[in-house]
Structures are given as structure tokens and as C-alpha cells.
Structure 1
Amino acid sequence: MAANRTRGQRAGLTRQAVLEAALRLVDQEGLKALSMRRLGAELGVEAMTLYHHVPNKTALLDGMIEQVVAEAVPTEFGAGTWRADLSAYAHALVAALDAHPHAAPLLLSRPALTPRNLRTLEAVVEMLHEAGFSLPRTLDVLYSLTSFAVGHAAAHAGRIDGAGSLASLDPEAYPLLVAAARESGEDAADARFAFALDALLSGFERELEGGPAEG
């Protein structure tokens, strides 16, 4: 006799499929469009079926962040130097958020401490600690880097980089601002991100070379 299965199992759904569908919906229509009822309709099931895979909407949102973070972890993560790994992670996180711009506010507003995300964080902390950073400093490095990357992605998604607006100002009233913006060019955001990321990583490196931090 076949074992009894829940409605969620009979629907052939998995947690992964639910999270991927939620992210697609938000990509297409924004966070305001996301509800358990609407997501169920997208998947062709009743909303209650989804609760077999995500217990509530909070868990659904956390799972969506997990999906984005998973896209941002390079396949070769942990194989290079700590600086190369962090640089690759920051660039990959920005790329993932560029692909899912409506997810940026989620990363800024909630920790999303799912088991999968926690394993990623544990791996980064281990890598940094083995490189010589104190345990408290590993979190400082991780959170400052992530906040920087997410903030850049959020600004890019909102088209609030500012250079384009500065370039259109009155050059007689603001000659230096206008000149700086125009010389930067229309596609300066990527170069600006690379410059700031390199400066951030160089700061981490200088501290590490100066000896282990206290704490």
C-alpha cells in the first residue's frame, strides 16, 4: 500500500520550487504583489498547500533572501585568498541583486538566518579567521562588505547613483560637481564600485598586516 502523503507532497512541490516561484513573482511584479494566495495561484495550488513547505510569510521572505545569497556564493568560494574570495563574493552579490532588484530591500531589512545562509556565514568566518582575523573582526569584515554591496545594488536598482543628475546641473553654479560627473561618464557606477571595494579590502588587509585585532 502506498504511504499517505500530504497535499503538498501530492502537488509535487518542494521548498526550493516554492522559493524560486516567489522570487520570480517578485522579480516581475515587486514585493507588494507577493502573498501566499497569489503565490499559490502561480503554482496552481491552494495557498494552504504552501504551508507544507514554508510555515509563514516570514519564512518565505527569508527563503527568498537565501536564494539570492546562494546565487552570490561563487562556485570556487574558499579556493583562493581571503581577499580574492571576498572580492568575488561582493561582485557576485551585486550581480545577483541586479538580477533580482526587488530583493535588495529584503537584504537590508532582515537577517534571514536560515540554515543554508548560516552555513555560508560559517564558511566565510572560518576562512577569515584562518587568514588571521580575530573572530569578532570576521563579523565586522563580513557585515561591512555585505552592507556595502547591498547598498550599492539598492542604489543602482533605484537609479540613485547621482552622477547623471549632477552632470545636468548648471555648470556655472557648480563647475566642479558638473565636471567631475561628466568626466566620470554615464556608466561610472561599476568603476566606482570596484574602486570603493578595493579601498575597503585594502583597509582590511592593512589591519591584518598590522597584527591581530584585540577582542
Structure 2
Amino acid sequence: MGAKRTRGQRAGLSRERVLEAALGLVERDGLGALTMRKLAAELGIEAMSVYHYVPNKDALLDGLVERVVERAVEARPAGGTWREALREYALALRRTLLAHPEVVPLLASRPALTARTMATVEAILDTLREAGFSPARGLRMIHAITGLAIGEAAVYAGAGPDALGPNAVDAESFPLLAAAVREGAAGLDGRFDFALSALLDGFAEAAAG
């Protein structure tokens, strides 16, 4: 006779489904509302059954970070250059964080060194190694890109895309700043693209030097 299955297993649950339910709960009710008991209620199972998939609260939070990072890496173009891979990773990470703003503080504060997160980073490092970057430089590049995406997502989530309108600055007192704002320099989408391009240009220049 096989091992007795838990209620969660009978319900067809998996670690991925548990983490997706946790993401949905956090998005709806906020990160502070995430508890093992509430997650179990969300899944329609007993609280103890959740521990079959995530052993504790820290593992659950690490799992949320893991899911966000995996989604970003899944968007990388197959067979693209290292620059295209990093650019799409950054755009996808920021896009995912904007869809789940409550998770932004987690990525900013937790290394989340799960096996799957490290496998994700390993895949990007392999792309960079093939382009001639050492593992150490590649990891620094990933950290820089990730930090930019997290920071910009946090600003966007807090301010919104139109936080500084074209008439928000007194042109008489601050003519240069007002001119820059009128030309769209304060737009968060454009600012992110500019910063990302500057980072990638810097990586390319360092590789060529």
C-alpha cells in the first residue's frame, strides 16, 4: 500500500500552486496579511497541510521571491545576445514587480537563495560566460540590473507614472528643471529605459576595454 496522501495532495496541490495562491493573497490583502493559516484557508486546506509544501514562513517568503525572478527569466529571448537577455530580464522583472507591488520589499531585503532561484541566476551567468564575462563580473551585472529594476518599481509603485506633470515646476524659478520636465525627462518609464541602456552600455564598454 502506498503512503497516505495529505488533504493538500488529494486536492491536487503543488508547491507552485501554493506560491501562486500566496502571491494572489499578498496582492489582494497586502504582505502583512500573509500567514500560513490564511494561505491554507485560501487553498481550502488545513493549516498543517501547507507545511508539506513550504516548511515555514521564511521559506514561503523566499518562494515568493523565487516565483517573481523565475517569471522574469522566462521572458528572456531564446538565442539572443547577452545584452538582449539582460535587457529583457530587467524589463520583465520590473513588469512583474509592478503587477505585484507588495512583493517589492521582499526582493529588496531577502537574498532568497533557494535552489530554483540559484538555478535561475546560474542560467543567466551561463549566457554571460558564453559572451566572455567572468562569473564574478556576470554576478555583479545581474545585481546591478536587479537593483535598478527593484528601485524603479518601488518608485513607480509609490508615485505612479505621472507623479511630476509638465506644469509641476515653476519655470521662472527653475528654468532648466522645468524645461527637462516638459521634455519628458521626469517620466518614470523613460527614466528606467535611459538608466538601463546606460548600464548595458557600461557593461559593453568594460568588456571591450
Q: Match of 2:190?
A: 191
Query: Superposed, which structure 2 residues align to 1:26-175 within 5 Å?
Result: 26-159=26-159, 164=164, 167-175=167-175
Moved more, 126-135 or 19-28: 126-135
Q: Which runs of 5+ in 2 are unaligned?
A: none
What amino acid sits opposite 1:205 in the alignment? A
Q: Residue 11 of structure 1: CA displacement? A: 3.9
What amino acid sits opposite 1:194 in the alignment? D
Q: Match of 1:203?
A: 202
* CA RMSD after TM alignment: 2.1
CA contact (8 A) 1:8 1:53 kept: no
What amino acid sits opposite 2:189 in the alignment? D
Q: Match of 2:10?
A: 10
Q: Percent identity at matched positions?
A: 54
Secondary structure at 1:184 match in 2: coil
Cα distance between partner residues in 2 of 1:67 and 1:80: 23
**Are the structure 2 counterparts of residues 136 and 24 from structure 1 closer, same or farther at C-alpha, using a change threshold of 3 Å?**
same
Q: Residue 77 of structure 1: CA displacement? A: 4.2
Secondary structure at 1:52 match in 2: coil
Q: Residue 91 of structure 1: CA displacement? A: 0.7
Q: How many residues align?
A: 209
What TM-score results when the alignment is normalised by the length of structure 1? 0.89
Q: Match of 1:213?
A: none
CA contact (8 A) 1:163 1:181 kept: no
Q: Residue 122 of structure 1: CA displacement? A: 0.6
CA contact (8 A) 2:66 2:117 kept: yes
What amino acid sits opposite 2:204 in the alignment? E
CA contact (8 A) 1:22 1:64 kept: yes
Cα distance between partner residues in 1 of 2:163 and 2:3: 62
What amino acid sits opposite 2:124 in the alignment? V
Secondary structure at 2:12 match in 1: coil
Query: Superposed, which structure 2 residues align to 1:171-182 within 5 Å?
Result: 171-182=171-182
Cα distance between partner residues in 1 of 2:132 and 2:185: 39
Q: Match of 2:20?
A: 20
What amino acid sits opposite 1:80 in the alignment? G
Cα distance between partner residues in 2 of 1:199 and 1:169: 26
Cα distance between partner residues in 2 of 1:45 and 1:77: 38
**Are the structure 2 counterparts of residues 3 and 91 from structure 1 closer, same or farther at C-alpha, using a change threshold of 3 Å?**
same
Q: Alpha-carbon deviations, 1:96-129, whole Å to 9, x = none? A: 1111111111100001111111111111111112
What TM-score results when the alignment is normalised by the length of structure 2? 0.91
Cα distance between partner residues in 2 of 1:106 and 1:40: 21
Q: Alpha-carbon deviations, 1:24-60, whole Å to 9, x = none? A: 0111121011111111111112221100110001000
Cα distance between partner residues in 2 of 1:160 and 1:206: 33
Moved more, 16-25 or 66-75: 66-75
